[in-house]
């Protein structure tokens, strides 16, 4: 942050975002600083044209909307306001991001889906009275995963003493 405040105040301001967010911001800030050096610009100078050119450079590199949006958020958080509005809410930045979203729409994370009915029918076919404890446990975990939509890492953290 470029505010002229004590380190204690900076720490409290930084606590408003998670470490994961700051990690993403550090990446964007390093790209911003590098871009400014290449163009002989001062990174701390508030200049909407520079911000737009920087975001465009990310677009030209083929980066996703999400990555460019993180850079927008970084600039807004770290450098504050321009024309009396947060950088990320500036009319030109909003229009630029709309253009990015139209020309490079967000892609679905998964290109393949599967029919969960196949799994459900298989689970129904397993006889609970004659299967092994391992098979019964796998059936239970499968049901939990399908019913709750939780990831494996969440299912692993289930403690037996918390189940009633």
Q: What is the pLDDT of residues 3-55, one digit of tens each?
A: 678 889 988 988 888 888 888 889 999 999 999 999 999 998 889 999 999 99
Tell me the CA distances in angstroms from 134 to 16, 72, 128, 131, 140, one per residue in order. 45, 50, 11, 8, 10
State the pTM of this model.
0.63
With vertex at residue 109, the alpha carbon angle to CA 58 and CA 22, rounded to the nearest 5 degrees, is 50
Instruction: Name every residue whose Cβ is closer than 8 Å to that of residue 70 and which is 6 or more positions away in sequence.
Output: 24, 25, 27, 28
Report H helices in the chain.
7-14, 19-38, 48-60, 65-79, 91-103, 116-125, 133-148, 152-156
**Could you tell me which residues are beta bridge partners of residue 47?**
none
| All structural domains of the chain | 7-103 (1.10.150.130), 116-162 (no CATH)
pLDDT tens column, 76-119: 988 888 889 999 999 999 999 999 999 988 777 777 888 888 98
Q: Of 93, 18, 104, whose CA–CA distance to 60 is shortest?
A: 104
- Mean pLDDT value of segment 138-153: 85
């Amino acid at each position: 942050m470029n505010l002229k405040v004590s380190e204690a105040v900076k720490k409290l301001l930084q606590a408003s975002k998670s470490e994961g967010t700051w990690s993403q911001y550090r990446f964007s800030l390093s790209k911003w600083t590098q871009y400014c050096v290449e163009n002989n610009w001062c990174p701390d100078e508030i200049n909407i044209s520079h911000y737009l050119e920087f975001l465009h450079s990310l677009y030209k590199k083929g980066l996703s909307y999400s990555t460019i949006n993180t850079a927008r958020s970084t600039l807004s958080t770290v450098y504050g306001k321009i024309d009396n509005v947060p950088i990320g809410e500036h009319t030109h930045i909003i229009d630029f991001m709309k253009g990015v979203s139209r020309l490079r729409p967000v892609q679905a994370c998964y290109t393949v889906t599967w029919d969960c009915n196949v799994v459900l029918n298989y689970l129904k076919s397993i006889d609970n009275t004659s299967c092994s404890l391992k098979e019964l446990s796998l059936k239970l975990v499968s049901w939990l995963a399908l019913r709750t939509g939780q990831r494996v890492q969440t299912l692993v953290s289930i403690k037996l003493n918390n189940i009633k």
